[in-house]
Structure 1
Amino acid sequence: MIALKDILYKVTINAVVGSTNIDVLDVDFDSRKITDGNLFVATRGTIADGHDFIDTAIEKGAKSIVCEALPKKIIDGVTYIEVENSSKALAIIASNFYQIPSENLRLVGVTGTNGKTTVASLLYQLFKKAGYKVGLLSTVKIMVDNTEYKATHTTPDSLTINKYLSEMNAVGVEFCFMEVSSHGIHQHRTEGLCFEGGIFTNLSHDHLDYHKTFAEYRDVKKKFFDQLSDKAFALVNVDDKNGLVMLQNTQARKYTYALKSYADYKSQILENQFGGLLLKVNDSEVWTRLIGNFNAYNVLAIYAAAELLGLEKVEILRLISDLENVSGRFQYVVSGEKITAIVDYAHTPDALKNVLETINSIRTKNEELITVVGCGGDRDKTKRPKMGHIATALSTKVIFTSDNPRSEKPEDILSEIEKGVEPQNYKKALTIEDRKQAIKAACQIAQPNDIILIAGKGHETYQEIKGERFDFDDLKIVQEFLKQLQK
């Protein structure tokens, strides 16, 4: 229980009707979860407007309401707080309600199109191996030190973020690494959090169904760095031209990393094979089990971040050599027939290109590279032909299939992917709508030493079709089919 006036600290208020000298038992923005004595925050979402549910929340026992527009009917005994932006207010209220938990640990946010999950997860793993209590807020999972929770969004809503940060406080977590998505920034979910650092990985084509233009997408990412304090660090990849854009208005201490450009933290790939990478990081060599050029960037980012957070260089290098790959990120299995199957989350044109170029740089070219790929429904449609073009240009065979079609017809999505295939690559591609059958076909086509890439879903253990989620795990399914071939 906390006084309403206390959880409104730092909230920009336009008007108050009623008393703020009342107790709040809990806070929610979902009217269905409201119980007696709660504060209801009416936020405007993409599907529903919380202002339409103010009466419902009051009927369920809400004693205080935060909204952007006061309702015409004011109920006696209920306090109304009118604010400029209720999503922003919710984030600050959530932080205050949970006693500003981000102040009591060292929170680092990771943003960018590709690499967020890998960088955040590897930092969690590295600091755990260094002996610290660590938290993780990621697409794959949420970790409160050793306790795992299921993740539902890349960046959870602000109440959920602060709830988990509060739990981390309770068990003595010292460091927390958090994926920060463009949606999360745009919807003010990270407002009111005290970040000690921000990391920018890269920026490429994604989420243009939501942001409309690439410039808007870039500027939303930049806003995260604009909000960092002068006590924080900003670490950016300057091989991506948008890296320096992120630093333009930040008050944070500025650091850069790169493989190709001049930077504070430099890396060079000495060896690149399916067993891992040998890297030269600044002046030291390190071996890692992670694979590919894109992971050279990820390793460099975690090396730099760990040093900025106070770990010794020699210790960081030792820990990097012990890191394990992240679920659904270039995970691979080799069958008894010496067929290599790789499962990767690559669901953007840039990520798919990176993974395929990595495989092509390692393979001998005497074997086939068979790619199984699709695109999600109800998402950015403009990337579909690009994915089709990249897959067929960089593979020897391609099977287009269903990803998470959601409410769209799979055949419509596949038709748009196929539009990107150039005439000289027509013979490389076939379409099998059923994803399980597509994976089976790839396994049947493959000969000893061939490579199968199954892209797009990575760590996901479901397929979303017409509002329902069905069990579906790319890695398990390809392992089953490869075993059948050995019989």
Structure 2
Amino acid sequence: MKQLKDLLFGVSLHAVSGSTAVGIESIRFDSRETGASDAFVAIRGTEADGHRFIDGAVKNGVRAVICEELPQDLADGVTYVEVADTQLALAVMASNYYGNPSANLRLVGVTGTNGKTTVSTLLYQLFKKAGYKVGLISTIKIMVDDQEFPTRLTTPDSLTINKYLSRMNEAGVEFCFMEVSSHGIAQRRTEGLVFEGGIFTNLSHDHLDYHKDFADYRDTKKKLFDGLPKSAFALTNADDKNGLFMIQNTRARKLTYALRSYADFRAQILEQQLDGQLLKIQDNEVWTKLIGQFNAYNLLAIYATASLLGLGQLEILQLLSGLQTVDGRFQYFVSKQRITAIVDYAHTPDALKNVLVTINALRTGNESVITVVGCGGERDKSKRPVMGHIASDMSETAIFTSDNPRREPPRDIIAEMEAGVEPQNVRKVLVIEDREQAIRTACKMAGGGDIILIAGKGHETYQEIAGVRRDFDDYKLVSEVLERLASEV
């Protein structure tokens, strides 16, 4: 049990009613989970305002309420604390509750529109292969060295983050690599964390359903670097037009990486094949199993980060050559009929274009590219016609289908994608609302040497329709269908 006054250390208090010298068992921000001796933090969320549930938390026996506005009626025996921002207070309190675990390991945050999962996961892989105990907090999973935990958010809530960082401390983890999303930054989930470094990958169209506009999205990402201490490093992609903007106000040591521009860390693509590419990094050649220009940037960021964290140049290059692709990130296989199927998380216009540019660069003859793609429901609608344009323009056939429509009618989403298709490409587009049927159709259409790209869901093993999640795995489905078709020949 912790003292409330200790949990509030570093939190700016506006008003206090009651004693802060009370014992707190747990911190909660969901009133339904509160119990005796807990502290309830009332968060103003996008769908619900936690202040509406203060009375319910009090009835459940909480000893303290942290809020932005004190209730009119204050219950006896409950301490009420008024703060300016409960999301910030929750983050600081979570860090205090778990003993500030981020200060006891070397934490590196990765932000950007695309590449966060690949960079953070492959850094985890690389440092594990180098013999260290390593942690990972990513879209796909949380790793406490060798122990895996599921996650549903790119950047979990601050209590979850600190809980797992604390477990990493207990496991003797030295390095932790963490995806930092714009939502996570905006909702103050990473406040109170001590970062040794920050990495910026790139910035393009995404999450404009949440952020007011692109400038707000960009400025939110920048806050990660604005908050870095002087002792940290800030590593940015100099080829991205927002790269230098990200680090202009940071106190951290500024470093750059690039394929085209002058930078502290540079790379060049020498050769590309479907099974890998040859890179020249800082005047040394290395063969890697990851292909595409976007992966060249990812690998260069990984090389730079490993170097900044103290690994030797030759050791890093050797480890880079052994890295395996991340689930759902240009994950591919070749069937017995010589059909190549690629599953990729590309759910933004830039990511989809990057993958299709890579695929088209690898074509050697008359292969056809069949792209199966959809857009998520209840998310940024403005990218839908752009995605439709890119898929239809850069493929021989584009099949528009459902992604995770959530509670939005799938046909409405697809119609908005169709709006971006230029007249000369209309004949190349098929609309098959059912995603399973769309993938099966692509497999039946493909011939020897053709390439099927299934974009949008990547590593996800579910599909959310009408608010209900059901099992659905793009990679598993396309593998089974192509194997069955090969056996029927």
TM-score range, shorter chain: over 0.9
Q: Which residue of 2 aligns with 1:210?
A: 210
Q: Does 2:41 align with 1:41?
A: yes
Q: Which residue of 1 aligns with 2:63?
A: 63
Cα distance in 2 for residues equivalent to 1:16 and 1:286: 60
Q: Which residue of 2 aligns with 1:220?
A: 220
Q: Which residue of 2 aligns with 1:374?
A: 374
Amino acid at match of 1:31: S
Cα distance in 2 for residues equivalent to 1:391 and 1:461: 23
Q: Which residue of 2 aligns with 1:325?
A: 325
Cα distance in 2 for residues equivalent to 1:198 and 1:12: 26
Where does 1:95-106 land on structure 2 (aligned, <5 Å)? 95-106=95-106
Structure 1 residue runs of 4 or more that deviate by more than 6 Å after TM superposition: none
Amino acid at match of 1:464: E
Q: Which residue of 2 aligns with 1:485?
A: 485
Q: Deviations over 1:54-95 (max 9, x none)?
A: 111111110001000000001111101100000000000000
Q: Which residue of 2 aligns with 1:415?
A: 415
Q: Which residue of 2 aligns with 1:286?
A: 286
Q: TM-score, normalised by structure 1?
A: 1.00
Cα distance in 1 for residues equivalent to 2:364 and 2:191: 49
Amino acid at match of 1:359: I
Where does 1:395-406 land on structure 2 (aligned, <5 Å)? 395-406=395-406
Secondary structure at 2:209 match in 1: helix
Q: Deviations over 1:428-447 (max 9, x none)?
A: 11100000000000000000
Amino acid at match of 2:397: K
- Consecutive unaligned residues in structure 2, runs of 5 or more: none
Cα distance in 1 for residues equivalent to 2:242 and 2:38: 43
Cα distance in 2 for residues equivalent to 1:182 and 1:331: 26
User: How far off its partner does 1:365 sit?
Assistant: 4.0
Q: Which residue of 1 aligns with 2:295?
A: 295
Alignment RMSD? 0.5
Amino acid at match of 1:209: D
Q: Which residue of 2 aligns with 1:443?
A: 443
Identity %: 68
Where does 1:16-415 land on structure 2 (aligned, <5 Å)? 16-415=16-415
Amino acid at match of 1:245: F
Amino acid at match of 2:363: R
Q: Deviations over 1:149-196 (max 9, x none)?
A: 111100000000000000100110000000000000000000000000
Q: Deviations over 1:7-43 (max 9, x none)?
A: 1011011011110111111101000111110000001
Secondary structure at 1:223 match in 2: helix
Cα distance in 2 for residues equivalent to 1:213 and 1:435: 31
Amino acid at match of 1:79: T
Cα distance in 1 for residues equivalent to 2:154 and 2:181: 6
Q: TM-score, normalised by structure 2?
A: 0.99
Secondary structure at 1:328 match in 2: coil
Cα distance in 1 for residues equivalent to 2:391 and 2:22: 60
Secondary structure at 1:210 match in 2: coil
Cα distance in 2 for residues equivalent to 1:24 and 1:312: 46
Amino acid at match of 1:204: S
User: How far off its partner does 1:467 sit?
Assistant: 1.0
Q: Which residue of 2 aligns with 1:11?
A: 11
Secondary structure at 2:113 match in 1: coil
User: How far off its partner does 1:283 sit?
Assistant: 1.1
Cα distance in 2 for residues equivalent to 1:465 and 1:151: 20
User: How far off its partner does 1:101 sit?
Assistant: 0.3
Secondary structure at 2:210 match in 1: helix
Q: Deviations over 1:328-362 (max 9, x none)?
A: 00000110000000000000000000000000011
User: How far off its partner does 1:212 sit?
Assistant: 2.2
Cα distance in 2 for residues equivalent to 1:437 and 1:174: 46
User: How far off its partner does 1:272 sit?
Assistant: 1.0
User: How far off its partner does 1:485 sit?
Assistant: 1.1
User: How far off its partner does 1:364 sit?
Assistant: 1.5
Secondary structure at 2:279 match in 1: strand
Tell me the matched-pair count. Answer: 487
Secondary structure at 2:19 match in 1: coil
Cα distance in 1 for residues equivalent to 2:162 and 2:272: 40
